[in-house]
Structure 1
Amino acid sequence: MVLATVLAAAVGISLAAAVPSTTSGTIGSLSPCSAIISAPLLPSQYYGIEMVTTRRVPGTGRAVGTGMVNFARSPFGVAVSPSGRYVYDLSLSIDRIKAPRRGAYTAWAVAPDLQDVVRLGVIEEGQVASARVTWNKFLVVVTLEPSTEPTARWHGPVVMRGMSRSGMMHTLAGHGPYENEACLKYGFK
């Protein structure tokens, strides 16, 4: 009797919802997985990176930039690297920066220990440079490179810099033995 009641309730709910069911596991024309993938993935402000100019290169003193970190799309919900780290899509845009007389502005993402570097690419005002990273904490730098040719590391002066929000949680600037270090120097307000 209980089984018949549960079955009747399930059939009643299915009919009341007017959801067409098929044997392939899809609802209407969407499969459960495609419904998840097509959902908008708008990042929160927490995943924004404020870029700060170093004012070391002429024409960059008024420059502003923003980096955005999004979780990489995956049909499984969360994208991870072979080592099990989250995979992030990092994009960077800059504005109010003058074109260099020589060379090109190049964007980079770098691990906090400065050992591992990912080149995002050449970036100009109003354009977006992007790459995938697997670090939880990282720095973003824009440098003035002598050419547009890809290299493993930067060689030119740093024009702008920023830090992932997770990297900001553990900085010692302004605290303890570093209390004489100005937080603003590191991009904090």
Structure 2
Amino acid sequence: APEGLTVMQLVKQGRYPYQTWLKQWSEEDEKSVGNALKATGIDHLKDRTVDSLSGGQRQRAWIAMTLAQDTDIILLDEPTTYLDMTHQIEILDLLFELNEKEGRTIVMVLHDLNLACRYAHNIVAIKDQKIFDQGKPEVVINCGLVKHVFGMNCEVTIDPLFGTPLCIPHGKGRRILKDKIGAPV
């Protein structure tokens, strides 16, 4: 976002496609922006500059801009990248809620398999720019897929909180520690 741009100005950009020479800012536009700010929980930040926000707040502002567009489908490319664990969960909870309550289709790229399994109804695994497998997380995510797509051995168990697949990657560090002390750490 350009320096000095406020959250309100950013979110209003989501209504830009609806503006024409004959139809300028409307009550409907105002309502959509207000709803987007409220849905993302940042209405109290509307006068702050985007560059003064935390990473999680900034992501919410960008998502609010997307929501202001009032589209049935939302496309997101790694919306949780560079966020700490708390903000990742907050963003994914928000998107899940938008899907459940408003029926919006949300398509996003996530590289964290465990979060993808927790939140996705369907997963598409891509390798070499082609669909390797797709379907419900409990069907798609297994040790074979992780080995083929990511080149990594793992264990797949059940997430005790959500009942979804939980991928536990093997790593050299663990084997080295195990070999050094004789037992897993």
TM-score normalised by the chain length of structure 1: 0.23
Higher relative contact order (CA 8 A, sep 6+): 1
TM-score normalised by the chain length of structure 2: 0.23
Structure label with greater radius of gyration:
1
